Amino acid sequence: MKARDVRARPLRRAPSRSTCAVRIVRWSWIVGGGSARNRTMMRMLRERLEPASVEAADALGWSADAMEAQAFGFLAARGLKGLPLSYPATTGVPIR
């Protein structure tokens, strides 16, 4: 897989605000963090994102917990530098 094929995007109208997922191309989603172990959450994501496949990061040999920790570390580093943590174009949340 080439780096340009990976797109990080928030899940719109996802079952949970804390869901961490990476979208690969257009037909596969990889879910990390605690949501990856939540059977109900995974079922709901599969239903909502159908026909795309939805897999837990651990099932693909990635650490779901490490993905979540890295995401929060990235956000913390941006916060310490005074950089925005979100952008209106991707989240709809205004920059303050």
Domain borders along the chain are: 3-83
The answer on pLDDT for 15 being more than 60 is no
Dihedral angle of Cα 62, 64, 70, 76, to the nearest 10 degrees: 170
Q: Supply the pLDDT for residue 47.
A: 94
Closest CA to 59 of 26, 29, 27: 29
Q: Supply the pLDDT for residue 96.
A: 65
Question: pLDDT tens digit string along 18-71?
Answer: 566 655 556 889 999 999 999 999 999 999 998 899 999 999 999 999 999 999
